Chains A and B, each alone.
Chain A
Amino acid sequence: MSKQRTGFVCMVFLLLISYTSKAQFYLGIEAGGNKNYLITNNSAQSFTTYNSASGISIGIPVLYQFNEWFALQASPSYTQKNYQINRTGFFQGIYQKNTNGYIQLPIMGNFSFGGEQLRGYANLGLYGAYWLSGNVKGTEPNILNPNDTAYSSSNPSSALNENYGYSYNEKYTFSNIKDNRLELGWVAGMGISYEVNSSYRFFIEGKYTGSFTDQQKKYQTNQVPRYNDTFGISIGCLFSLDNLFGSFY
C-alpha cells in the first residue's frame, strides 16, 4: 500500500478513536448461509466446470462501539467455503462436492448511520482463516468396475454407462505439500440493525469475503491459483455487556 493510502487509513482511524465517550462493548451470536465460488481457471479440463456451492456460517460477533457511527468488530466464526466440480455432456453425473470448514477471524470497521433504533451499517476489514476440515462427496467412473453389459454396445449412453460410478462421501485428507490451510483476505458487508432496547439489538447483514491467498501452497511451476469468494447472509443478536452487567469503564 502506498504512503498516501497508509496516511488516509491512519487519518480515518484517528477520527474514529477521537470520540469515545459513548463507548460500549457488545457480544453476540450470528448464523447464516453463504455461497462460495472457487475462483480458478480450469480451461485445460474437458467437459468440466467449477460451480458455487452453499454453506453455513456460525459466529460470535464482538463489537466495540466507539461512538454513534463507528465501531470495531471481530467475528470469530466457523464458515464453510464449499464448491462443486461437475462434468458435463457425455460425462454428466460425475461430480465432486468439496465441503471445506474454516475457522475465521475477521477484524472490521463498522460504520453505522440512521435513526436511534433502526440503523444501517457497513463493515470493512481483513480476515485470517484456518482451513479446519474438508469432506468430499461425489461420483467418479470406476475404471475397474466396467458395465459388462454395456461393453458389447458400441454406443454407450454416458461414461457412467460404460463404467459403474463409484459414489463416495469421505473426509478429505489434507496434503502437507499441496494444501495451504492458512487463508488471508478481505471482508465487506452491509446490514441493518434494530435496537430493541439499550441492552440488545438484532441485525441482518450481507457479507462478502474474498481471499487473496492461494488455496494451494506453491508446490509446482506455472501453478494456477485458487481463491475463495464467499457471499453470505446472516442474522444475529448483539448484547450490550455494559447494560447487562454494568459498565467496564
Chain B
Amino acid sequence: MIRIPSFKNKFLLLIAFSLVIAFSFSSCRKDLTASNNAQNYPGDSYPDLFQAFWSGMNSNYVFWGIDSTDWDKMYTTYKPLFDNLKVFNNANETLAEQYFSEMTKGLVDSHYNLTFELTGNSFSPSENRLLNINPNYFTDSTFPGAVLDSLIPKKYIDAATLVQGVDTITLDGSATAFKAVSGTINNSILYLYFNNFAISQASVNTQPVFNYFFSMIHNLPNYIKGVVIDLRGNGGGEIADLDYLVGQMITSQLNIGYTRAKNGIGRLDYTPWAPAVVKPWVGGSVKITVPIVALADHLSASMAELTTMAIKTLPNGKFIGTRTYGANGPLAPSVYYNGGQFTIGTGAFGSTGYLFTYTSSTMFKYINGEIYEGKGVPPDIYARETTAAYQSGSDLVVDAAINYIKSH
C-alpha cells in the first residue's frame, strides 16, 4: 500500500522534483557566446582574420536577404585554407587576398570593395563581374569626360551662358577634381553637369556654376522648355545633395523608394522598410513643370543613380541614357546602423588594420518595388554616345534629350 506523504515530505518532494526539472531543462539551452564584433578580433593570425572577416560579413552585410552567395559554404570551404596559413609572409598574403576575393566575388553589393592595407591591393566584386561580362566596360568609351571637355561646352551650350569650373575637393580622403558645367542649349534648355555629389564643397571655380543653375531654376524664364541634368560618369557622393539638387525643383515631398538596415546580428535581421524621400530644399524651392531629364550611363553610380531615380519618379521626369552601374545602397559609418563597412586586424596592425571592407549600410528599393542593386537602373529612353558620333561632333545622348524636350 502506498502511503500518502505528510505535508513536510510533500514539500521536500516538490523541491527535489523542481531541482531535477530545473537542472534538466537549463542544460537544454545552447551556448550564448556571441560572435565577437569583427573589429575586436586581435587579427594576429590568418585564421583569426578569417574568423573576424566571416563574422563581420555575416552580421554587417546588408544584402543577405537578396544575395545568392552561400556564406555558410564560404565558412566550410575557406576556414581550412586559412588554417593552413601559419605565418605572415608574401606568399601567404597573396593566397589570403586571393581567398578573400574568391569568397566575395559573387556579392551583389556594387559599392563593395576590399582594401588590403598591407599591400595596398583592393578587390571589387562589381568591377570583377562587369569586366567578366565586358572586358572594355570601363574603357570602351572616352565619354562623358571628352564630351564635356570638347563637345558640350563648345558645341551645345550657348556661348553667352556658359559657366564652368574645376575645384579640388576631398572625397574619401583623397584629393579629387570636381568639375561643373552649366548654361543653356539652343536658348531653350537649362543644362547642368557635375562629376561628383559634393556640392557642399563647391568652391571659387564651381560655385558660380551652381549659382547660375539654381538662379535660373528659381526664376525660370518662359523660353526654357526643359531642364537636363547630366549625371553620366558621376560616381556619387553626399546624400544631402539629393534634397539640395532635386529638392529645389519640387514644392512637395517626393517618395522615391524605401531603405532598410540591419537591426540584429543575425543574417536576416532587418528593420522595416523606411520611406526614402526627397524634400523641398529648406533654402527655397520652386515647382518646375517643364520636362526634367536625367542623363545617366553605365558609370553613373550611387547618388547619381538615386538622383536619376528621383527625377524618373517626377511626373515630368525622364531618364535617358543607358543602364546605370547598380550601386545604390546608401552608406554611413557602421555604428549608425550596426551594419555596413568595417575594418579587421586593428589589434595587430594598428588603426588602419589588415583589411577594410567598404559596403552599403542600407538596402534601397525603388518606388516600383524593384531592387536595382547589382543590376542598374534601366533608362526610360535608351541612348548612348558612340566614337563615330563624337568624332562627327554629336552627343547622341544630349541629342536624345533635346528631341524629347522638343516633343513635349
Contacts and interface: CB of A to CB of B under 8 A. Distances in A.
A248 interface: no
A151 B201 CA distance: 13
Contact of A140 (B10, B256, B271, B332): B271
B28 A212 contact: yes
Most A C-beta atoms less than 10 A away, residue of B22, B271, B279, B362: B271
A241 B351 CA distance: 73
A159 B55 CA distance: 26
A126 B35 CA distance: 31
A151 B247 CA distance: 15
Given A44-B59, A159-B336, A220-B58, A142 B259 contact: yes
Contact of B20 (A8, A111, A177, A224): A8
Q: Which 6 A-B pairs have the closest CB atoms?
A: A212-B28, A144-B276, A41-B34, A166-B274, A44-B37, A186-B25
Contacts of A140: 261, 263, 271-272, 274
Given A143-B361, A178-B269, 14 more contacts: A8-B20, A39-B29, A43-B37, A44-B34, A44-B35, A46-B334, A46-B335, A143-B261, A146-B243, A148-B279, A170-B272, A178-B268, A186-B21, A212-B25
Interface stretch (A13-21, A72-80, A199-207, A231-239): A13-21
5 contacts: A67-B4, A142-B274, A186-B21, A212-B28, A219-B267
Nearest to B76: A221
B33 A41 contact: yes
Interface stretch (B11-19, B116-124, B400-408): B11-19
Nearest to A68: B4
Interface in B278-317: 279, 281-282, 306
* Band of interface residues on B: 35 or more
A128 to B, nearest CB: 14
B72 interface: yes
Contacts of B306: 144
Interface string B240-261: 1011100100000000110101
Contacts of B263: 85, 96, 140
Contacts of B256: 144
A109 to B, nearest CB: 8
Contacts of A43: 34, 36-37
A222 B5 contact: no
Interface of A is mostly: mixed
Nearest to A167: B274
Interface of B is mostly: mixed
Nearest to A142: B274
Contacts of A15: 2, 5
Contacts of A224: 32-35, 265-266
Contacts of B261: 140, 143
B30 interface: yes
Contacts of B243: 146, 148
Contacts of B362: 143
Contact of A149 (B5, B24, B30, B282): B282
B239 interface: yes
A39 B306 CA distance: 40
Interface of B: 2, 4-5, 7, 10-11, 13-14, 16-18, 20-22, 24-25, 28-30, 32-38, 55, 58-59, 71-72, 75-76, 200, 239-240, 242-244, 247, 256-257, 259, 261, 263-269, 271-272, 274-277, 279, 281-282, 306, 330, 332, 334-338, 361-362, 364
Contacts of A32: none
Contacts of A9: 17, 20
B274 A220 contact: no
Contacts of B268: 175, 177-178, 219
* Band of interface residues on A: 35 or more
A12 B32 contact: no
Nearest to B24: A1
A140 B261 CA distance: 9
Contacts of B332: 143
Contact of A188 (B18, B58, B240, B277): B18
A211 to B, nearest CB: 8
B21 A166 contact: no
Contacts of B75: 221-222
A12 B10 CA distance: 10
Nearest to A152: B200
B34 A42 contact: yes
A8 B17 CA distance: 8
A141 interface: yes
A46 B261 CA distance: 15
Contacts of B58: 220-222
Interface in A154-176: 159, 166, 168, 170, 175
A135 to B, nearest CB: 11
Contact of B4 (A19, A39, A44, A145): A19
A18 B21 CA distance: 22
Contacts of B275: 142, 145, 166
A45 B35 CA distance: 10
